């Protein structure tokens, strides 16, 4: 009769420690999930880093007015903070995340900056029209438009994408970009800038984010086509395609287990902080990039795009 060999207690404890270490290494972030979209930054742990303490500003956006959709949290908040540090006035638009919007506004005030928070659903033409009107009423002009809002609904098969979700994803991720551009374009002039947030998924695809990836691909084409149209007017149009970034969209989209491993497939084995991404927008919004238009920059942690 065979008997199962027992591990020595000390060996068993070492094996358990090794298992725990292996398990911990696969968890990049604390498991968490939010049952709403958009997600809330004030419910995340750890909180995303919006700007690093050692960031050195150089008045790159002095006296500019920057409009940011989805500027209450995530990448949008980080871009708002960096824009203010660089001397800009900021108008940011949010859906209904009032606590996050208040935090962003208060932080900007503490920086000595000037900003306005505009609550508005941008998934319709009328919503974008109202938002642009509010921005112009406050500041009188706009120099930089940053289209940034997005939603996503992961699914394991294309048949699982409901018509309602599909329409919402395209209305938020693509139509809002078009509508904001249409409403603001008559007010933009030479040397002004339009920046669009796309994604790494537009270039490598995603089997779990098919509709989201399709919208991000549309944004790439929008950016390149619009840049060609507006180059004679001296208006530059570029895009940013981040890789994995620690933002409220992540716990709002994925399960606790998926959130815990989020960023592990990046060559750097971690997600970016919004503070890692925001300087790309500042570069593209400033005169440092005055000979760049129709391009997509890729702050993605080491994935090579061709």
Reference 196, options 164, 153, 241; nearest CA is: 241
H or E, element range at 236: strand 236-240
93: left (phi over 0), alpha (psi -120 to 50) or beta: beta
Residues whose CB falls within 8 Å of the CB of residue 12, separated by 6 or more in sequence, listed in order = none
10 Å Cβ neighbour count for 16? 11
Q: Which of 81, 94, 153, 212 is catalytic?
A: 212
Would residue 212 show up in a list of annotated catalytic residues for this protein?
Answer: yes
Distance CA 270, CA 46 (A): 14
10 Å Cβ neighbour count for 264? 15
Edge to edge, what strands does the sheet with 65-69 contain?
Answer: 115-119, 89-94, 65-69, 144-147, 193-197, 236-240, 296-297
DSSP symbols for 73-124: SHHHHHHHHHHHHTT-EEEEEESS-HHHHHHHHHHHHHTT--EEEEE---SS
- Catalytic residue annotation: 212
């Amino acid at each position: 009769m065979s008997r199962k060999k027992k591990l020595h207690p000390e060996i068993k404890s070492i094996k358990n420690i090794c298992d725990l270490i292996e398990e911990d290494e696969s968890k990049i972030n604390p498991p968490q999930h939010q049952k709403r979209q958009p997600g809330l930054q004030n419910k995340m742990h750890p909180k995303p880093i919006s700007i690093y303490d050692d960031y050195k500003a150089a008045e790159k956006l002095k006296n500019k007015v920057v409009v940011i959709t989805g500027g209450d949290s995530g990448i949008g908040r980080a871009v708002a903070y960096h824009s203010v540090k660089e001397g800009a006035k900021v108008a940011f638009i949010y859906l209904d995340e009032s606590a996050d919007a208040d935090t962003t506004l208060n932080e900007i005030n503490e920086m000595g900056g000037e900003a306005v928070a505009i609550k508005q659903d941008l998934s319709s033409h009328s919503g974008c029209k109202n938002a642009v009107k509010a921005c112009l009423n406050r500041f009188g002009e706009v120099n930089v438009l940053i289209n940034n809002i997005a939603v996503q609904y992961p699914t394991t098969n294309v048949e699982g994408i409901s018509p309602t979700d599909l329409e919402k994803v395209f209305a938020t991720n693509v139509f809002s970009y078009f509508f904001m551009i249409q409403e603001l374009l008559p007010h933009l002039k030479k040397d002004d800038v339009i920046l669009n947030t796309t994604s790494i998924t537009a270039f490598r695809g995603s089997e779990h984010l098919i509709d989201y990836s399709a919208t991000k691909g549309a944004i790439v084409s929008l950016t390149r086509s619009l840049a060609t149209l507006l180059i004679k007017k001296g208006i530059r149009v570029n895009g940013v395609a981040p890789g994995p970034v620690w933002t409220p969209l992540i716990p709002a989209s994925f399960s606790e287990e998926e959130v815990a491993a989020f960023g592990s497939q990046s060559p750097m084995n971690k997600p970016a902080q919004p503070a890692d991404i925001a300087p790309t927008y500042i570069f593209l919004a400033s005169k440092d990039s005055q000979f760049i238009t129709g391009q997509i920059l890729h702050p993605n942690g080491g994935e090579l795009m061709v």
